[in-house]
């Protein structure tokens, strides 16, 4: 545990020292990954599937606000839809207008979840999102997460319907619209997933706010279980073909990732919990204090060696008796050569 605490403190110190450089790099990698996934999953406009264009846009997103990643993701997906058909672009534009209205106009926090949610869904690890959102955000984060799920199912429906749209004539405007709209509206998995993620976020948030020992750990496990149970109930009710093995493996992965995030974010030591009581003129206060797990760097004692008092053999004996100097054999020989 000591080694883990030391690694955690080093990572935190490194991040706080170089935050001004790390954040743009993270945004660059996120934008690059999002645009590459869009190009690989859709790829209807071949001109956008160019590494130079993706890199330029990702570099722009690295120093622009977080909303720029959302806007460029919307633009890329709309252009791919337009290359597929005008009807697909029209449906996509309507969905994105609703999403942007809900997320930006209503002032929802954690807007970056609109991008991260469909990204993780496409990578087959969607169960991590509601658990982490419940731990580090508020219940209002269910809104951008739900919008992200809607965006993912929009893109998935577009890709699934592309072969049918391609064989239709240009005059079959209403038929193409019906395929896309029905594919989204009648997809019960969309509603079940949004409901499961929203309830999971609320459950995790409520449990981790409780003043009980290991509240965050309990919230992580309970959230993963609630998510799986709701998805399985939705599968039984609407036959949405959810893989039980995939749901269980995804929930286990979500628990592991959330546990690592909890360790780096808080890492509380419940063995040293203290309950404090004090009062003022109007109230009595009952406070439960749980200290964080910390790593204390051991102090090293440096002993100055005076060559006028010690010979070579005495110096070696002093160094051997004082392991706090922590000199390796080669370093010791070089130091002795300089002294004598």
Q: What is the structure's pLDDT at 320?
A: 57
Cβ atoms of residues 277 and 270 within 8 Å: no
Distances, alpha carbon 220 to alpha carbons 123, 167, 189, in Å: 21, 47, 23
Q: What is the structure's pLDDT at 269?
A: 56
Q: Look up the domain containing 312 and give its range.
A: 302-340
Q: Over the chain, what is the mean pLDDT?
A: 82
Q: What are phi and psi of 170, to 5 degrees?
A: -65, -25
Q: What is the structure's pLDDT at 261?
A: 85
The answer to the question of residue 193 being in a domain is: no
Between 43 and 276, the more confident residue is 43
The answer to the question of residue 325 being in a domain is: yes
The dihedral through the CA atoms of 120, 140, 32, 76 has a sign that is positive
The answer to the question of residue 257 being in a domain is: no
Per the structure, the count of domains in the chain is 1
Distances, alpha carbon 169 to alpha carbons 42, 85, 163, 174, 315, in Å: 21, 11, 12, 11, 92
Cβ atoms of residues 69 and 61 within 8 Å: yes
pLDDT at 45 over 80: yes
Distance CA 88, CA 79 (A): 10
- Rounded (5°) CA angle 137-205-196: 95
Give the confidence band of 226 by pLDDT, cuts at 50, 70, 90.
Answer: very high
What's the mean pLDDT in 253-270? 79
Tell me whether residue 142 is exposed, middle or buried, using C-beta atoms within 10 angstroms of its C-beta: 0 to 12, 13 to 18, 19 or more.
buried
The answer to the question of residue 3 being in a domain is: no
pLDDT at 227 over 80: yes
**207 Cβ neighbours under 8 A, 6+ residues apart:** 215, 218, 219, 222, 223
pLDDT at 317 over 60: no
Cβ atoms of residues 121 and 147 within 8 Å: no
The answer to the question of residue 317 being in a domain is: yes
Q: Which of 45-54, 172-181, 266-275, 315-324 has the highest mean pLDDT?
A: 45-54
What's the mean pLDDT in 94-119? 82
> Which residues partner with 277 through β-bridges?
286
What's the mean pLDDT in 11-40? 88
Between 195 and 296, the more confident residue is 195
Question: CB neighbours (10 Å) of residue 284?
Answer: 8
Q: Which of 101-115, 165-179, 208-222 has the highest mean pLDDT?
A: 208-222
The answer to the question of residue 233 being in a domain is: no
pLDDT at 325 over 70: no
The answer to the question of residue 323 being in a domain is: yes
Q: Can you tell me whether residue 288 is helix, strand or coil?
A: strand
Question: DSSP letters along 35-70, please?
Answer: HHHHHHHT--STTT--HHHHHHHHHHHHHS-THHHH
Give the confidence band of 81 by pLDDT, cuts at 50, 70, 90.
Answer: very high
Contacts by 64-73, CB closer than 8 A, 24 or more apart = 66/27, 66/111, 66/112, 67/104, 67/111, 68/31, 69/27, 69/30, 69/31, 69/34, 69/112, 69/115, 70/100, 70/103, 70/111, 70/112, 70/114, 70/115, 72/31, 72/35, 73/34, 73/35, 73/38, 73/115
pLDDT at 74 over 70: yes
Question: Any idea which of 29-43, 252-266, 305-319 has the lowest mean pLDDT?
Answer: 305-319
Distance CA 45, CA 76 (A): 9
The answer to the question of residue 90 being in a domain is: no
């Amino acid at each position: 545990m000591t080694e883990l605490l030391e690694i955690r403190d080093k990572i935190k110190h490194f991040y706080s020292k170089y935050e001004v450089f790390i954040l743009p790099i993270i945004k660059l990698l996120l934008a690059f990954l999002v645009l590459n996934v869009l190009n690989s999953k859709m790829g209807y406009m071949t001109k956008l599937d160019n590494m130079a264009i993706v890199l330029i846009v990702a570099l722009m997103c690295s120093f622009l606000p977080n909303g720029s990643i959302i806007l460029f993701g919307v633009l890329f997906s709309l252009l791919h839809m337009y290359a597929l058909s005008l009807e697909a672009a029209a449906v996509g534009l309507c969905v994105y207008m609703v999403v942007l209205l809900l997320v930006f106009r209503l002032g929802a926090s954690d807007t970056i979840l609109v991008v991260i949610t469909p990204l993780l869904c496409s990578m087959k690890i969607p169960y991590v999102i509601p658990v982490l959102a419940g731990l580090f955000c508020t219940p209002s984060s269910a809104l951008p997460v739900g919008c992200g799920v809607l965006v993912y199912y929009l893109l998935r429906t577009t890709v699934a319907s592309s072969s049918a749209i391609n064989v239709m004539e240009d005059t079959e405007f209403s038929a193409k619209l019906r395929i896309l709209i029905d594919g989204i509206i009648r997809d019960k998995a969309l509603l079940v997933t949004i409901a499961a993620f929203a309830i999971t976020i609320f459950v995790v948030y409520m449990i981790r706010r409780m003043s009980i020992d290991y509240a965050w750990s309990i919230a992580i496990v309970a959230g993963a279980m609630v998510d799986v149970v709701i998805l399985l109930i939705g599968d039984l009710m609407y036959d949405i073909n959810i893989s039980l093995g995939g749901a269980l493996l995804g929930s286990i992965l979500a628990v592991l990732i959330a546990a690592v995030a909890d360790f780096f974010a808080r890492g509380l030591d419940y063995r040293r919990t203290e309950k404090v009581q004090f009062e003022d003129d109007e109230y009595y206060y009952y406070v439960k204090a749980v200290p964080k797990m910390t790593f204390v760097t051991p102090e090293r004692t440096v002993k100055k060696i005076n060559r006028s008092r010690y010979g070579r053999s005495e110096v070696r004996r002093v160094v051997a008796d004082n392991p706090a100097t922590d000199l390796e054999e080669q370093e010791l020989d070089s130091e002795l050569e300089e002294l004598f």
